[in-house]
Structure 1
Amino acid sequence: MKTGGPWSRRARILRGMEETRTADDEPKYRIRALHTDRTVTVYQAYRPEIGLAAAREGRFPAIWKRDRMTWIKPSFLWMMYRSGWGTKEGQETVLAVEITREGFEWALRNACLSHHVRGFHPDQATWKARLRTAPARVQWDPERDQRLRALPYRSLQLGLSGEASRRYADEWTVSVTDVTPLAHRVRDLVRAGDLEAAGRLLPREEPYPESAGLLEHLRVPQAPEAP
């Protein structure tokens, strides 16, 4: 596996974004991620024996179970919310995993929403049948600000199982970087009230360029506002 990428270059790690985006600027469902023309960075958190081995080897070790569902998250701050800044039991090592855009988009095109939506799916039975066979599933959870408070727009969570999980670990992964020290540094700055300095350390997560039809089956239409 290659070991280069956005997270192996300090200049890209330190390029941050200020929290200037408002709710009005953001559609409810959009992928925001650190990405290049070839790759996209997602985040996971593991116990040290898995996370440190993955970062050291640049790929997931043999003890990483390829037959289980794994969830990847393009949002650094949502990962901080989920892992408690890398302090929750079993999530002490935070990883930035750079994967190919080709693999990421394959998973999205073959994904199913993780829950049934009345009026969006034909019926619950059709949704359940699709969920049983889909190698990936998507849920949209509230994005988080630097204090890990919920924002009114959503962040993508992508669950991989079966073929998708195996391909993620053994084909799509380009680099794996331990970003636990960064997580702790940002947390400390936020707790000290220095949001500006914390923002400068955040990865630059920008709107992911969507090819035609990439999210049509995963983005639930917003109901029109009442007059």
Structure 2
Amino acid sequence: MIFTLWTWIPSDAALRAGRFVAPFSFHRMTWIKPSFTWLMHRGNWGRKPGQERVLAVRMTRDGWEEALSRAVLTTADPSAVAQAPVHVQWDPERSPRGAALNHYSIQVGIGRHLIRAFADDWTVGLTDLTPQVRRAASSIRTGHAARFRRLLPPERVYPLPPDLAGRLLPGG
């Protein structure tokens, strides 16, 4: 099974190659955001410097669950967090206009020791969503809610296996 996550990249090189390549950094943690509206809030709808290109990242379910199986909540003991190859944090979900909502979205940080597995083995495709993001942002600014909703990519709640839910959900 393959599903889609969202991220930014600093250049067009990854799109040309169809996979993550330099200048993508293979030497630092990279954060995966499964929530599209949270990512758009964080990157100002593709207008924040260095976050102008928005990609859909197609990733295998096995890779995603491998990452989650190695994850530690960022609220855990600091020494455990420092040693963890994957970090998980929960942030308030955002409305299209950026207001905090009453539920949370997961953010998953893949550490530098797993970046190659993420880029070479777990990621199976990249799709440029930048034009769609620009149209959606314009729809928000001009008050065209119906058009905006049609431009959002579909999202579903991920069915987290019980053992991972117990370790990674807030208060789990």
C-alpha contact 2:31 2:107 (8 A) present in aligned 1: yes
Task: Specify the alignment match of 2:51 in structure 1.
Answer: 91
1:135 aligns with 2:98: no
1:94-113 counterparts in 2 under 5 A? 94-113=54-73
Task: Specify the alignment match of 2:5 in structure 1.
Answer: 42
Distance (Å, rounded) in 2 between the aligned partners of 1:164 and 1:138: 14
C-alpha contact 1:146 1:195 (8 A) present in aligned 2: no
Deviations 1:116-162 (CA, angstroms, capped at 9, x unpaired)? 4xxxxxxxxxx223212211001101111121211110011000113
Deviations 1:88-122 (CA, angstroms, capped at 9, x unpaired)? 11111111111111111111111011124xxxxxx
Any idea what SS the aligned residue of 2:39 has? helix
TM-score of the two chains, using structure 2 as the length reference? 0.94
1:57-206 counterparts in 2 under 5 A? 57-116=17-76, 127-206=77-156
Task: Specify the alignment match of 1:17 in structure 2.
Answer: none
1:72 partner letter: I
Distance (Å, rounded) in 1 between the aligned partners of 2:48 and 2:116: 26
TM-score of the two chains, using structure 1 as the length reference? 0.72
1:210 positional shift: 1.8
Any idea what SS the aligned residue of 1:213 has? helix
Task: Specify the alignment match of 1:221 in structure 2.
Answer: 171
Pairs aligned (count): 172
Distance (Å, rounded) in 2 between the aligned partners of 1:64 and 1:90: 12
Q: Give 2:159's match in structure 1, choosing from 193, 209, 213.
A: 209
* Higher radius of gyration, 1 or 2: 1
User: Which runs of 5 or more structure 2 residues have no equivalent in the other structure?
Assistant: none
C-alpha contact 2:13 2:22 (8 A) present in aligned 1: no
Distance (Å, rounded) in 1 between the aligned partners of 2:65 and 2:127: 22
Any idea what SS the aligned residue of 1:217 has? helix
Any idea what SS the aligned residue of 1:174 has? strand
Distance (Å, rounded) in 2 between the aligned partners of 1:115 and 1:211: 21
C-alpha contact 1:189 1:195 (8 A) present in aligned 2: yes
Distance (Å, rounded) in 2 between the aligned partners of 1:187 and 1:69: 28
Identify, as 1 or 2, the structure richer in strand. 2
Distance (Å, rounded) in 2 between the aligned partners of 1:62 and 1:171: 17
Deviations 1:148-199 (CA, angstroms, capped at 9, x unpaired)? 2111100110001133222111111110111111111101111111112111
Instruction: Say which structure, 1 or 2, has more relative contact order (CA 8 Å, 6+ apart).
Output: 1
C-alpha contact 2:13 2:23 (8 A) present in aligned 1: no
